[in-house]
Amino acid sequence: MDWIKKHYDRLALIITSLLLLGSSLFLANAAIESRGIFANLSKSVVHNDKIAGFPMGILENSQDDLKNPKLWLTGTGKGSLFVSEPYLIQDGKPVLLLSGSAHPPVPNDWFIKNGLDLTDPDILNEDPDKDGFTNLEEFLAEKDPNDPKSHPAYLTKLKLKKYIQKQFRLKFNSWDGNPAKPESLSFAIDAVDLRQHTQFCKLGETIAGTKFKLEKFEVKHQLDANGVEDDVSELTIINAEEDKKVILLHQKTVNSPDSYALLKYLWNGEEITVKKDKTFILKPDNDVYKLIDISLTEALIESAKGERIKIPRLEQL
């Protein structure tokens, strides 16, 4: 530092010399490059009368764009650059369609996706593809409501309308003889639904025109509301072929041991009455089903493949 202070003038001279040297080198290099540029300009120009071909690919792409212009699409209904999100006016106020359900339990976007009218108050019960299934049924089964070939199983339209108990066709009217001597007993049997004479049968005999025979008799009495003794004796008859027993009460009409189901087929409005252990046919595929069991709340059926299906009771509207 002391040297610089003592020889400041010399240091300044050295720095100036270096700057002048650098400037000289820059000017010399620029002069050399300028010569090259002027040398190229002085060369003779090569003349060419051939015109380069036009890139036809660009023209073809332009023609395709004119025929099929690009469109701004809403996609899932959430809107785009030029298209707003869809709204529905409810109670005088705009409500975003995709934010809920105007017809529960079906969400609004399902209706929009399938081009269905959300303003229709009965849209859930409509059947746009005429396949016999409502929009609600198509939604629950994850089917296309606009395609008649896409629908839930026809069996889903089958409901139990009624559990039928029919009167047994035979009635035990009277008896005669000594209960201590069963062989002396005689029983008067009438047919409830047939016009025929009263039959008098003994134990072990078959009732004419039926598959039932008399098996057992038991004398019973009980007091009625007035304190009078009433004969409520029981006569047991049996169907030997089906091994079914029926107890006939003295002078009483009893229900048949057979169970019947009244089925409502909502697909075409048909009502089907079927007896337990019997089969029935379901259109339009003509599938065969067998009634396995029946109760007040549901019916159990079996398909030709052995699959068992529960049929719920029809809800009363």
Residues 288-305 have pLDDT tens digits of 999 998 988 999 999 999
Residue 37 lies in a domain: no
Q: What digits encode the pLDDT tens for the residues 32-89? A: 666 666 566 566 666 666 766 667 777 777 777 777 776 555 445 555 566 667 666 6
Listing DSSP states for 51-64 in one string gives PPPP-HHHHHHHHH
Residue 130 lies in a domain: yes
Domains in the chain, number: 3
One-letter identity of residue 64: D
Per-residue pLDDT, averaged over 116-122, amounts to 88
**Structure-model confidence comparison of residues 107 and 94, the more confident one:** 107
Q: What digits encode the pLDDT tens for the residues 196-255? A: 789 999 999 999 888 899 999 999 988 877 888 889 999 999 987 878 889 999 998 887
Q: What digits encode the pLDDT tens for the residues 163-178? A: 998 888 899 999 999 9
Q: What is the C-alpha separation between 301 and 295, in angstroms, rounded?
A: 12
Residue 211 lies in a domain: yes
- Domain holding 109, by residue range, is 95-152
Domain stop point among 249, 277, 298? 249
Residue 70 lies in a domain: no
Mean pLDDT of the chain: 83
Residue 14 lies in a domain: no
Q: What is the pTM of this model?
A: 0.55
Residue 228 lies in a domain: yes
- Residue 269 shares a structural domain with residue 216: no
Residue 189 lies in a domain: yes
One-letter identity of residue 180: A
Residue 119 lies in a domain: yes
